[in-house]
Structure 1
């Protein structure tokens, strides 16, 4: 059934819209409230899902088959199309019994993510439409304006002296240069991530951390996920080794599992968690200080959760700052294109005026 769902997801857009689970943050928030009031997970699905899907008959059959096969919340939410970064927290919550609180945290993270996407789309919509309009003007100039002005200049000026035509051709292709640069940049980024993805996990982390800006953000995200996952396990009463074992055995996030396995080996040989984190280069700066304070106070799990919340705020600030830079950069590109359009028209005109 899952294979059939994946096939339809990519081949039939209309059917995809019918089976799509809408407003996932609200769904998770309502489910969290119902779970806290004592409803079972199956009851929550039966009560809430009809209000978040169009084709409920399809979902009812799919979820019934999944429950019959012994699927838990993680598998069910995987069918919903939930991102892997959230599935890790949900899978660990199944172990700790903190599913309700975890769903609430995931709902807030999803809501922030959707708000950032909506904000980014609004910021990009006007500049992109303007750039498309300018691109159409440049194409029209190349097809109609350039041949006429070229004929006028060459009829009154020797070919070797008509340098303005060459500059006009250059300026009329300025949008093409930006498009080529953008396509090449995207191709390099996608190709780079595909290349890194095929490497071993330790090599993946080594390569990602060496990238400027991306390495900084990746270290922050990995530290945040590790702190929240380990903290949630510790506050339920699990020992540190048991918690690390749970993180190591989860198969959704391979990098998190690798980091947990490396730290577990150091702790087995008698090292503290703070010293293990400090000796490794996987984490955000000063993370070991929070761990050291938590180990001394005996509230390590709680302090890890506090640190994860601090990193949430830091990540949100970084994303908001990044979106503020996108629109000015696009407007700068548009301004360059407008100047190029003026120059492409004025240069041959000035040359014709000099001739007259």
Structure 2
């Protein structure tokens, strides 16, 4: 079973260090090699789950990797690379990004190195990966058949335009005024135009956003229909759960904000950490920065302010983060359930339009013969 794809990269940036280096688009290892191994999605889940179980049972990092090397299907050079990194004194989380893990997953492991609950974080990452994979498979199952039908219908329009249209134009009077002929003539052009228009809009959005800060981008994304709601839930769940872990282990908020600004954080974490630290140092309320962050749910701010008074802020944030994640999964599942009927309705309308495009010119031709 092939668990990874090999990717060759240069090593010109090998002097970079810290998590920040591995979160960049062009990433390199900190030791002499020119190969990176990106695990496939299923293999990443297996790797995290097995590593968490081994560490939970008292294995060290090196012992866990040595055991995985014995049981992992060939080839397993990525394990040797992780072992080399550990021997060179680099933390384990640095290798996860090069294996294909997302920046958010690496950031969770980065926090885990600070609060010490690395095993719990691995289990949490594995659960999130399992939930995401479950929703992804449902989406693919729902979309596969309608997508095949949609592609087939586009092909039918193209066939009708190339083969049927010339015959219809010679058999009916005034073909330019016939509705069916118009549908056959312009439907493929319309569909291609929609696709090209979507591509142009996407490129324009990328151009506009390239000079925006991370928080400005997130504010814009959070206003998108549907996707903005999902993104807000995800970001809120992430920060609530990770802050909660740090606070439960006795880390004060000031240190949490400093950790967000440290080398190794994502741009969004750095900007948020800087704003919160400035508010804390100037004696302002922590609610001030949140007023301009539309990508965080109001409940997060409320718990943050009231939790400081009750002294149970860490636990409250962890519970809240888990609850928001569960809500996000339910929202996605509900939307997926509605996607298939909606797509089938669109496909049905296209089928009706095809029949209309075929039959209307034929009726006109028959009427002309009479």
Distance 2:63 2:186 in 1: 61
Structure 1's unaligned 5+ residue stretches are 11-15
Contact (CA 8 Å) 2:8, 2:36: kept in 1 or not? no
Match of 1:39 in 2: 59
Equivalent position to 2:233, from 220, 226, 235:
220
Residue 92 (1) aligns with residue 92 (2): no
Q: How do 1:279-318 residues align onto structure 2 when only pairs under 5 Å count?
A: 279-282=291-294, 283-318=296-331
Q: Secondary structure at the match of 1:286?
A: helix
Q: How do 1:15-54 residues align onto structure 2 when only pairs under 5 Å count?
A: 20-21=39-40, 22-49=42-69, 51-54=71-74
Residue 324 (1) aligns with residue 337 (2): yes
Q: Secondary structure at the match of 2:250?
A: coil
Contact (CA 8 Å) 1:31, 1:44: kept in 2 or not? yes
Q: Secondary structure at the match of 1:121?
A: helix
TM-superposed deviation, 1:164: 5.0
Q: 1:138 to 1:215 in 2, by over 3 A?
A: closer
Distance 1:190 1:252 in 2: 27
| TM-score of the pair, normalised by structure 1 | 0.85
Q: 1:252 to 1:325 in 2, by over 3 A?
A: farther
Distance 2:70 2:9 in 1: 23
Distance 1:174 1:90 in 2: 51
Contact (CA 8 Å) 1:20, 1:53: kept in 2 or not? no
C-alpha RMSD of matched pairs (Å): 2.8
Q: 1:289 to 1:63 in 2, by over 3 A?
A: closer
Q: 1:65 to 1:129 in 2, by over 3 A?
A: same
Greater helix proportion:
1
Equivalent position to 2:134, from 94, 101, 115:
115
| TM-score of the pair, normalised by structure 2 | 0.82
Equivalent position to 2:125, from 106, 122, 128:
106
Q: 1:132 to 1:83 in 2, by over 3 A?
A: same
Distance 2:203 2:320 in 1: 32
Contact (CA 8 Å) 2:93, 2:106: kept in 1 or not? yes
Give the length in aligned residue pairs. 339
TM-superposed deviation, 1:134: 1.9
Distance 1:195 1:53 in 2: 45
My pick for the range that moved more, 188-197 or 122-131, is 188-197
Contact (CA 8 Å) 2:247, 2:253: kept in 1 or not? yes
TM-superposed deviation, 1:68: 3.6
TM-superposed deviation, 1:326: 2.5
TM-superposed deviation, 1:185: 2.4
Residue 345 (1) aligns with residue 362 (2): no
Match of 2:19 in 1: none
Distance 2:125 2:217 in 1: 26
TM-superposed deviation, 1:262: 0.7
TM-superposed deviation, 1:313: 1.1
Structure 2's unaligned 5+ residue stretches are 1-5, 11-25, 27-34
Match of 2:3 in 1: none
TM-superposed deviation, 1:315: 1.1
Q: Secondary structure at the match of 1:104?
A: helix
Q: 1:202 to 1:173 in 2, by over 3 A?
A: same
